[in-house]
Each structure stands twice: as structure tokens, then as C-alpha cells.
């Protein structure tokens, strides 16, 4: 029998209850806290720091690709919001609306932005006049509000942090290229920073963003077999431009409507990172987003010389550019080991009397627990190497999991079997909405994307038996 103390300090095992494991990790690793309003969470310093790492990578990539940051108002007058019909219909059910200012009723109520397409369009209609004003490549970092019915930390919130890029282009081709280019940036983020392999593709019409002509997405597979949409890019054509009266004089002197894109990723990426890599001891953070990359723990801290030596070790790592924490609190070493494992710190460096005597430290890797003795003179170089090793081990592990959870599906029986196992089902689809709906109705799985990497699993649609047109990845989704 476990007693309560142990229960209090540990987290639920993944195999016992994956959802509870997730919530435990979010709270106990101090990533977030609940607030007094449902669906609105507090991003605590350790969780926010992960977001800052993601931001810093993306912001650099956005600027390298010619984008500029702006900031738009957080409220949209209802009258403005209603200008593009499909868009309104998509978002109306989840808008939070303010209609009192001070003590006066507001005649044109203010919608707290659920996304900012209309704000950008309204602004663009004023500043775009000539082909010389294009392209406009704007991005903003902000939060948006969607009145969601059920919420989970990072995965689905009433408010979440994100970036939204909104661009305008002279030609359709240029806009389409932009949407695909930014999807690549997101994919790079997964591979190089988060150690998450994304499946890239195009959304079916049913799953498209309200108002978009094409939606592309990156999808990740979670350990419970469900897929998580981690980011989307959209090609809008010039529908919004027409609705908002955005025109420019072309090189030929004609008045034309520009072509538009938007794209975004959110703090949901934190949720994906937690789930993809975490284990029963807590978080396992990819080195490039870990707020603390190296934690230095003195052992037998009361023995003379231990604290100064640990401080020196920490400083050496700091000077070499690592994000370092020295924990010289008077907690026991064992407590600290568990604490920083729960927080997913990639490398733990132990410094004790025996190490000091031998001029060495102990370095332990969080992802697989492997410990080794390293001479102090080599520890910084070794640390750099190990962070790279950890990243690629984590990425490879995630790739292997993904590869083992993709099933070819040729008929409905196989689909049911595959979905009970969890993961993606590769289905040859005829292209009819009715067949897509049928699969959802029977299995609760939805079309995640039409992958760019197409292949032929079979010749016919498993629902209607007609000739198949496209390979589609289906899965149960968050």
C-alpha cells in the first residue's frame, strides 16, 4: 500500500491515466497554475520561459524571411468582424464580447479577438495602394480569446498565447509560396528545437480554416495515440481583400485585389512537447527549449570546499553559454535529483567531496538516466556534446514512435482495428465529403491532413469503393 505522502509528491503514471499524468506534470513542474476564470491559466515563470525559447527561435526565423512585427488592438467592433461571411460563421460560436464601457452601453459591441484577420485587413485597406507597397509581411505576438467549452492547460484554453502572421502579395503564386514556406519554418522548429517530428500536409475542405482556400498543418502524434494539430498556415486567395476593399494598382496600371496568407503557432506547442517527451518521472525537455539546461547539485554541501567548487563549476558552464542553475539550498541531494528530473532539466551535474578530490564531476542525462564521470577540465565540452546527443536521441525516439503508429488501412475493418491501437491510419480517399463524414461517424477519427508525401496504399476508397484520389492521414485528435 502506498501512503499519502508518496502520492502527494509523485505524479500519476502514464499507463494508469495519461490525462491525469499530463495535468500532474503541468502543475508539479510549475509550468502553470489555474486562475479564477475557467480556461484562463497562469503561465508560471518556468512554463513561460519555454514559450520564450520558442518565440526567440521563431522571431529570428520570421525576421530572416523578411517579416516585421506589429501590434494590433485586442478588440474588434462587431460590425467590422461581420464583413467576411465564412469567417464570422466559423468564429461566432466562440467569441467573447464586451458591450459595456465604463457605465455606457456600447452600440457596436467589441469582440475580444479570436484571431486578427479582419484587423489586419482593415489596416491593409488603408496602407496598400500600389504594387510597390507589396508584399506586406506582418507578424504579431499576442494572446487571443476563444470561449471554449472544455479546456486543458496549454492544449485548449479560453485564452492562449501565439503568433499570427498576416501577409499580402501581388500574385497568387507568391502568396501560395508564402503559406508553404512558413509551414517549413514550423517544421524546422519541430525537428531542430522541439525534437518533434511533424506530419505536414493540406487540410480537407471540412477541416479548413473559416474563410481560407487552403489550410496546411503540422500534426504531431501523442503517446496516447491521438494527434495534435500544432500549427497551421492558410492561403486565402483574395476573398478577404475583396470583402474589405483592399486594392492596389498593378504594374500594368490596373486596380487589383492582393492575395493573402495567415499562419500561426501557439502555446499548444508546450503541451505537445510535454506529452511527446515526458515520462513517469515528469517532464523531459528538449535541450534547446529547456529554461535550465544544466543544474549543478552540490553533494555533502556542508563539507568544506563543496559549495565553492560547485559554484565554480556552475560559472564555467555559464561562461560557456549554458542556461545554468546552481541549487545550493539545504534540501537533500536526493530531493534535488527528483525535483529537477520532474522539471525535465536535460543535464544534472553533481559535485561532491570525492569528485573534488579526483578533479571530476558526475554528469547525468535526463532522457535516459545515463551517468558518467567527467574530468572538470573537459566538462564544458562534454556538456555541449551531450546536449546535442540528447536532442538527437529524443528526436529519434519520437520518430520511431511515430513510425510504429502509422497503419495502412484498406477497408473499414482495418480502420477500426488501427484506431483502437491508436495512431494514424493511412486511408485512400475518394475525395467525397460524405465518406469523410462517415469515417468520423463510425470511428470518431478525423482527417488530420493530406500529407505532402503521397503514396498508394490501395486503389479504392474504403467507404464507398470508388476510385481513390488522395492518401489521407486519419486519427482521433485532441
Partner RNA sequence: CGGGAUUUAGCACAGCUUGGUAGUGCACUCGCUUUGGGAGCGAGGGGUCGUGAGUUCGAAUCUCACAGUCCCGACCA
Where along the sequence are the contacts to RNA (CB under 7 A)? 4-5, 7-10, 19-20, 23, 34, 37-39, 90, 93, 146, 148-152, 155-157, 160, 162, 209, 217, 229-232, 264-268, 281, 299-302, 330-339, 341-342, 350-355, 362, 364, 369, 371, 440, 444, 477-478
Helix residue ranges, H only, 168-302: 172-188, 239-243, 268-277
Q: Which CB sits closer to RNA, 331 or 400?
A: 331
Q: Which CB sits closer to RNA, 4 or 105?
A: 4
Least distance in angstroms from the C-beta of 277 to RNA:
17
Least distance in angstroms from the C-beta of 267 to RNA:
6
Q: Give the 3-state secondary structure of residue 140.
A: strand
Q: Which CB sits closer to RNA, 199 or 217?
A: 217
Least distance in angstroms from the C-beta of 69 to RNA:
19
Least distance in angstroms from the C-beta of 27 to RNA:
7
326 forms beta bridges with 296
Say how far apart CA 186 and CA 57 lie, in whole Å: 10
Instruction: Mention every residue, 6+ apart, whose C-beta is less than 8 A from residue 137.
Output: 65, 66, 67, 68, 165, 167, 178
Q: Which CB sits closer to RNA, 39 or 135?
A: 39
Say how far apart CA 177 and CA 261 lie, in whole Å: 10
Least distance in angstroms from the C-beta of 206 to RNA:
8
Least distance in angstroms from the C-beta of 424 to RNA:
16
Q: Which CB sits closer to RNA, 34 or 131?
A: 34
Q: Are 435 and 442 in contact (CB under 8 A)?
A: no
Nearest Cα to Cα of residue 229 among 261, 260, 263: 263
Q: Which CB sits closer to RNA, 287 or 352?
A: 352
User: Following DSSP, what letter does each residue of 419-468 receive, concatenated?
Assistant: HHH-SEEEEEE-S-HHHHHHHHHHH--EEEEEESS---S-SB-TTT-SBP
Least distance in angstroms from the C-beta of 269 to RNA:
8
Instruction: Mention every residue, 6+ apart, whose C-beta is less than 8 A from residue 403.
Output: none
Q: Which CB sits closer to RNA, 35 or 377?
A: 35
Q: Which CB sits closer to RNA, 268 or 405?
A: 268
CB atoms within 10 A of CB 12: 17
Instruction: Mention every residue, 6+ apart, whose C-beta is less than 8 A from residue 443.
Output: 415, 416, 419, 474, 476
Crossing angle for the helix pair 45-64 and 172-188, to the nearest 10 degrees: 140
Residue at grid coordinates 518521472: 281
Least distance in angstroms from the C-beta of 142 to RNA:
13
Least distance in angstroms from the C-beta of 299 to RNA:
4
Crossing angle for the helix pair 306-319 and 379-403, to the nearest 10 degrees: 70
Q: Which CB sits closer to RNA, 48 or 337?
A: 337
Amino acid at each position: 500500500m502506498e501512503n499519502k505522502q508518496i502520492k502527494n509528491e509523485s505524479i500519476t503514471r502514464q499507463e494508469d491515466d495519461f490525462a491525469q499524468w499530463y495535468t500532474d506534470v503541468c502543475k508539479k513542474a510549475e509550468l502553470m497554475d489555474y486562475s479564477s476564470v475557467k480556461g484562463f491559466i497562469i503561465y508560471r515563470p518556468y512554463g513561460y520561459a519555454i514559450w520564450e525559447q520558442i518565440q526567440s527561435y521563431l522571431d529570428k526565423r520570421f525576421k530572416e524571411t523578411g517579416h516585421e512585427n506589429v501590434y494590433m488592438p485586442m478588440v474588434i467592433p462587431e460590425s467590422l468582424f461581420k464583413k467576411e461571411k465564412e469567417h464570422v460563421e466559423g468564429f461566432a460560436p466562440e467569441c467573447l464580447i464586451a458591450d459595456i464601457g465604463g457605465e455606457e452601453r456600447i452600440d457596436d459591441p467589441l469582440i475580444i479577438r479570436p484571431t486578427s484577420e479582419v484587423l489586419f485587413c482593415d489596416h491593409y485597406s488603408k496602407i496598400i495602394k500600389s504594387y510597390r507597397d507589396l508584399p506586406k509581411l506582418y507578424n504579431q505576438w499576442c494572446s487571443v480569446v476563444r470561449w471554449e467549452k472544455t479546456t486543458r492547460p496549454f492544449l485548449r484554453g479560453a485564452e492562449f498565447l501565439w503568433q499570427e502572421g498576416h501577409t499580402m502579395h501581388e500574385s497568387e503564386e507568391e502568396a501560395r509560396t508564402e503559406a508553404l514556406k512558413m509551414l517549413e519554418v514550423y517544421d524546422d522548429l519541430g525537428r531542430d528545437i522541439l525534437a518533434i517530428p511533424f506530419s505536414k500536409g493540406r487540410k480537407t475542405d471540412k477541416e479548413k480554416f473559416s474563410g481560407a482556400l487552403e489550410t496546411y498543418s503540422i500534426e504531431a502524434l501523442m503517446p496516447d495515440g491521438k494527434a495534435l494539430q500544432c500549427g497551421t498556415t492558410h492561403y486565402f486567395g483574395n476573398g478577404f481583400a475583396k470583402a474589405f476593399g483592399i486594392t492596389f494598382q498593378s504594374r500594368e496600371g490596373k486596380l487589383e485585389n492582393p492575395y493573402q496568407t495567415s499562419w500561426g503557432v501557439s502555446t499548444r506547442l508546450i503541451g505537445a512537447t510535454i506529452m511527446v517527451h515526458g515520462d513517469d518521472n515528469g517532464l523531459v525537455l528538449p535541450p534547446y527549449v529547456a529554461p535550465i539546461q544544466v543544474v549543478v547539485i552540490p553533494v555533502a554541501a556542508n563539507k568544506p570546499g563543496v559549495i565553492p567548487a560547485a559554484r565554480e563549476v556552475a560559472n564555467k558552464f555559464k561562461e560557456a553559454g549554458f542556461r545554468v542553475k546552481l541549487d545550493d539550498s539545504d534540501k537533500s541531494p536526493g530531493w534535488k535529483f527528483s525535483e529537477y528530473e520532474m522539471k525535465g532539466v536535460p543535464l544534472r551535474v553533481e559535485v561532491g567531496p570525492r569528485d573534488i578530490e579526483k578533479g571530476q564531476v558526475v554528469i547525468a542525462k535526463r532522457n535516459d538516466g545515463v551517468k558518467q564521470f567527467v574530468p572538470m577540465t573537459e566538462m564544458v565540452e562534454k556538456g555541449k556534446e551531450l546536449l546535442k546527443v540528447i536532442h538527437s536521441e529524443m528526436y529519434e525516439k519520437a520518430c520511431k514512435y511515430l513510425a510504429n503508429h502509422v497503419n495502412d488501412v484498406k477497408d473499414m475493418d482495418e480502420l477500426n482495428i488501427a484506431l483502437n491501437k491508436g495512431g494514424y491510419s493511412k486511408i485512400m480517399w475518394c475525395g467525397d465529403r460524405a465518406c469523410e463524414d462517415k469515417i468520423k461517424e463510425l470511428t470518431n477519427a478525423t482527417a488530420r491532413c493530406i500529407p505532402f508525401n503521397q503514396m498508394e496504399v490501395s486503389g479504392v476508397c474504403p467507404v464507398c469503393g470508388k476510385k481513390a484520389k488522395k492518401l489521407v492521414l486519419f486519427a482521433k485528435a485532441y
